[in-house]
Structure 1
C-alpha cells in the first residue's frame, strides 16, 4: 500500500469515526433525555397518587396500575418484533463480532430506545449503558452501510467496535473509558486503525452529549479527598470484601433467567411481574427504582444507617435480578455500579464503626466499591478503573482504583468466575442454537409429509 493510499485510508477512517460518533452521540443523547424526563415524570406521578389516595380519589391509582399493564404489553410487543433488542445488548454486539449473530441496525436502534425508556422509566432496575453500547454499535453499522463497507470486513468490524465505545462514552461522558471498553471488552485486539477510529468516535460522541447535558461527571459526589499512602492497604481488603459480594452477581443473573422459564411466563406476563413490583416499591423503597445514579449521589451526603444500607443492597440486588431476567431492553451496568457503591459504603461504615478508618473518607469508599464490583463482574479492571475515574471526576484516585479493582478481580479469578457478558453471550447462543434445531426439525417434518 503506497503512502498516498494509506493517507487516504486514514482520512476515510477519521471521517467514518466522526460520522459514527455524531450518530451515536445524537442517538444516545435522545435516549438519555427521554430517560431523564421519564424519571422526573415518575416522581410526579407518585406524588399525585399519594395525594389522590389521601383524599379518597381512587380513579388515579387505578389508571396508574392500568398504565403498568399497558407498558408490559408494549414491551412484549417490542421484544417479539425485534428479539435482538432484549437485555443489555452488549452480548449481542459480541456475538455479531464473532460472526454468530446479525442485526438490522435501524430497527434495533428504535426498539432499544423505545423499550429502554419504557422499562427504565417505569422504574425497573436496569441501566442505560448496555442499551447505549448497542445503540452506538447500530450507529457504527449504519455508517458502515452508508460507506459501503462489507458487513464481515475488517472496516465494518472496526466501525461496530468504535460505535459501541462511542455509545458508552455518550452514556457516561467518559470518552477514554469508551475507547478502552471497545478494545478491551469487545475487540480484544489493538491496531492503529481501530484505535484511530475508536478515539475519533468516542471523542465526537462525548462532545455531542456534552453540548446537551454539560461536562459534569455522571455522579455528583462533591470533592473527594486524596487517599493517604498508609491507607492504601485497606483498599486491597475492600476489594476482597466487595469482590465477594459481586461474585454472586453473575450466577444470580443466569438463575433469574431460568426462573422465568421455570414459571413458564410468556409474552406480557414476563415484564408485568417486575413492573407490578416496581409499582409497589415506589411507595415502600423508591430508592432502588430505575438505574440508581441518584442513589449513588445520595450515599455521599445522606447519613444512612448500616442496617438501611444492607436493606438497600439486598433490595437492589434482588430487584435487578428480577428485572433483567424478564428479558426487556435494559442493561446491568448502572445497577451493578450502584451495588458496588452500596458495598463500598457498607465496608466503610464497618471500618468507621470499628475505629479503623476515618469517616471523612467514606465517599471515597463508595467510589472504590463501584470499581471493585465492576472488576469482579465484568473482569475488566482497567476499563472499570478508568470508567469510574471519569464518571466521578476523581482523577487523583487512579492508583487507588487500580489497587481495589485488581484485588476484586483476584477474587473472581481464583474462584473460577467468568466475565458476565461472556456468560450471557454463551447462554444466548445456546438458546439460538436450540431454536435453530427446532426450526430444522419442523422443516424436516414438513418435507417428509410433502413427500408422502
Structure 2
C-alpha cells in the first residue's frame, strides 16, 4: 500500500452509514517512500553567508571592547589601590594598602553602580549572562545602546574597586550588545539578530581568555538554544576573528600555563568522581547563597539603588580578612593551578571568596561568574591535593575548577574545554570529563535551576536547556493522515452537501467532525475546500442551491504525504489553520488525504510512549538440570 491508495468518499446522494465509517489507519514506517530528496539533515540558505560576513566586524569590535574593558579595570585598580596611572591588570588589596582603602573602595564603587543603574539603565545590574539570555529569549535580541556603554563601565568600577567578580560576564553582555546594535541597524529577523548577538558575546569571551573553542561551546550550551548552521557558522566566524585580533592586543599564550608531567592512575580517575561530587555540592551552595542574598536584600527597607553599596561593605570586610579574595584574581588562579599556593590561603579563598562573591552578587552589583568560579574551584582542588594522591602540579585544582564550572553553569562541555584551553593541559582531558560530568549530574539532580537561569525564573519565565530531536521532525504526514475522508463533487449543492453530514451519528463516523471537506472533480482532482460553517452560512442565507465549487476556497493551503510533521505544523501555525488537504507532490491537484492538528500530535504521542513505557526486549533462558535429556527424548 502506498500513500496514494486512499479511499475518498464523494457523494451526490445521501451515503450509507458504512460509507461514512472512518477507519483511517496510520501507515507503518516500513511503507514510507524513500524518495525524500527534498529533505536534508541541516537547513542552510544563502543568508548564512551574509550573516557570517556580518559577524566578521562584530568579532573584531568585540575583541577591542574586551581589551578596552580589561585596560579600564586595570586603570581603576591601579588608581585606587596603588595611587598610580597604569592600565596593567593587577590584583587589588596586595596587603600593603591602608585598611580604610580596602573597606571603603568597594562601598564607593557600589554606590556609583547603584546610581548608574537607577538613572542610567537597570539592566546593568547582575553578572551579564542572564541578561543576555533574557534579551535572546524574550526581548527579540534587542539590547539598548545605553546598556552597551554603561555595562562595561559599571563592571570596570565594580571590579576595579575590589569586587570579587570576573570581567567575562560584562564582556559577554557588552559583546552581545555590539552584535545586537549592529543587527538593529539592518533589516534582519529576530533569529538573525540573536545569532549576531551571540556572535558578539562569544567573541568577547574568546578575546578575554584566548579560549575560542570554549567560547563556541558556551554559545552552543547556553546562549543559542539551537544547533543549526545558520547560527553556528556566524558565531564560529566571530570567535575566530576575535581571537586573531586578540593576539596582538593581549597575547597568544594560554592564560594559566602549567608545566610538569601527569601520572594519571586508575585510582586518580576514580577519585575524580568524588572530586566532581564535592564540586557539584559546592556549586549548589554558591548558587543558593547568591539567591538567598538576593532575597535578603529585597527585604531591606531601602531602595535597591543602595544595595550594591551594602554589598560593598561585605566585600570590604572580606578584603580585610583575605585581601587576595578581591578582584578578578588571575594571579591566585595561576598559583592554584601550578601548586604554589599555601594551604592557609586556600582555606581563606575557599571560604571568604565564596561568601563575598555570592553575597555581593546578590546585591545586584555588576560583575561576572567565570573568574570567581575558577578561583573557588581551584581552591577546592588545591585543598583536595592535601588528601588525594599526587598526580602532577595543579592536577586536582584543574579537575575541581572544571567541576565547579560545570556545576554552577550547568555547561559541562564548556567547563572541560575551558580548563583545557586555559592551561594547555590536554593530557588531562579524561579526568576533566569525569569531574565536570559528575558535578553536572549532582547539580542537575539536586537543584532545579542554575545561577544563570534562576534569575530568569524569578521574573516568571521558564527556560529549558534540554536539547532533543523534535519527534515531529522524524515522522511524515503520510504516517498519520486520514485516508478515508468525505469529499464533495464540485457540482453538489450546498444544501445537499450539508445534508450529508447532518443528523449523522458522530459515534459511528468522523465525517461530521471532519469540518473541512475537499471539493473534487474527476478522479480525485482537488478544486478547493469548503468548511461546515460555509455550508451552514449558505443555507441560512437561502443560497443552498449554489454548488460547493462556488463556495469553496480555491487555493487552499496543502501539504504532502512525504512532508515532515514539523513542517506541516509550522505551516498551520503560520497560516492559522488546523486542517490541510494532502496532495501528491508530483501532481498538486491530486488529493491523497487530509491531516489535522490532532493527527500531528501522533508524533508527540509516540515520543511520550517511548519515554515512559518500559518493556523487556530480550529474555535470558536458563537451562535447568534434566531439561536437555527430556528435550532429546522428545525429539527421539
TM-score range, shorter chain: 0.7 to 0.9
- Equivalence for 2:446: 415
Is 2:159 the counterpart of 1:120?
yes
Does the aligned pair in 1 maintain the 2:93–2:162 contact within 8 Å? no
Counterpart-to-counterpart distance in 2, 1:366 and 1:182? 25
The aligned residue for residue 397 of structure 2 is: 366
**Counterpart position of 2:426:** 395
Instruction: Please name the residue that 1:235 is paired with.
Output: 272
Which structure would you say has the larger RCO, counting Cα contacts within 8 Å and 6 or more residues apart? 1
Choose the corresponding residue for 2:202, options 165, 168, 181. 165
Report deviation, 1:362.
4.8
1:99 aligns with 2:134: no
Residue aligned with 1:108, SS: helix
The offset of 1:321, in angstroms, is 1.6
Which of 377, 384, 391 in structure 2 is aligned with 1:347?
Answer: 384
What are the Cα deviations for residues 137-171 of structure 1, in whole angstroms up to 9, with x where unaligned? 11111221233324x2x211111122221122122
Structure 2 match to 1:74? 112
> Which of 270, 273, 285 is residue 248 of structure 1 equivalent to?
285
Correspondences of 1:132-281 after superposition (within 5 Å) = 132-150=171-189, 152=190, 154-223=191-260, 225=262, 227-266=264-303, 268-281=305-318
1:182-226 deviation per Cα after TM superposition (whole angstroms, max 9, x unaligned): 121112211112111011011111222222110122224444636
Tell me, yes or no, if the aligned pair for 2:110 and 2:365 is still in contact at 8 Å. no
Mean Cα deviation higher: 394-403 or 61-70: 61-70
Deviations 1:285-312 (A, max 9, x none): 111001222211122343512x542232
C-alpha contact 2:93 2:323 (8 A) present in aligned 1: no
The Cα shift of 1:103 comes to: 5.0
CA distance in 2, matches of 1:295, 1:49: 14
For the Cα contact (< 8 Å) 1:136–1:163, is it kept in 2?
A: yes
2:346 aligned with 1:309: yes
Task: Answer yes or no: is the 8 Å Cα contact 1:21–1:166 preserved in 2.
Answer: yes
1:28 aligns with 2:59: no
CA distance in 2, matches of 1:66, 1:336: 25
Residues 405, 160 of structure 1: alpha-carbon distance in 2 compared, 3 angstrom cutoff = same
Which digits, 9 at most, give the CA deviation of each residue in 1:213-267, with x for residues without a partner? 1012222444463634552112112111222222212111110111111223325
Q: Which residue of 1 aligns with 2:325?
A: 288
TM-score (norm 1): 0.83
Unaligned runs of 5+ in 1: 54-60, 352-356, 431-452
Q: Distance in 2 between matches of 1:87 and 1:33?
A: 21
Paired with 1:65 and 1:363, the residues of 2 have a C-alpha distance of 32
Match of 2:82 among 39, 44, 65: 44
Q: Which SS does the other structure have where 1:247 is aligned?
A: helix
Alpha-carbon RMSD: 2.7
**What is the alpha-carbon distance in structure 2 between the residues aligned to residue 48 and residue 361 of structure 1?**
29
User: Is 1:426 the equivalent of 2:457?
Assistant: yes
Q: 1:174 to 1:303 in 2, by over 3 A?
A: closer
Q: Which has the higher strand share?
A: 2
Q: Does the 8 A contact of 2:106 with 2:315 survive in 1?
A: no
Alpha-carbon contact 1:226-1:397 (below 8 Å) kept: no
C-alpha contact (below 8 Å) 2:135/2:143 kept by paired residues: no
Q: Unaligned 5+ residue runs, structure 2?
A: 1-37, 39-43, 84-91, 462-636
Larger Rg: 2
- Superimposed CA distance per residue, residues 21-47 of structure 1 (whole angstroms, 9 cap, x where no aligned partner): 012111111112222333344542588
Q: Take 1:324 and 1:304, find their aligned partners in 2: how far apart are those partners? A: 27
2:436 paired with 1:405: yes
Contact 1:235/1:403 (8 A) holds in 2:
yes
- Evaluate the alpha carbon distance shift between residue 369 and residue 182 of structure 1 in structure 2; reply closer, same or farther with a 3 A threshold: same
* 1:94 positional shift: 1.1
* Deviation (angstroms), 1:389: 1.1
Is the partner of 1:334 in helix, strand or coil? helix
Q: Partners in 2 of 1:148 and 1:426 — Cα distance?
A: 31
1:376 to 407, 411, 414: 407
CA distance in 1, matches of 2:94, 2:285: 38
Structure 2 CA distance for partners of 1:92 and 1:101, relative to 1, 3 Å: farther
CA deviation string 1:101-150 (max 9, x = no partner): 77544211111111001001101111111111111111111221233324
Is residue 348–residue 362 contact of structure 1 (8 Å, CA) maintained in 2? no
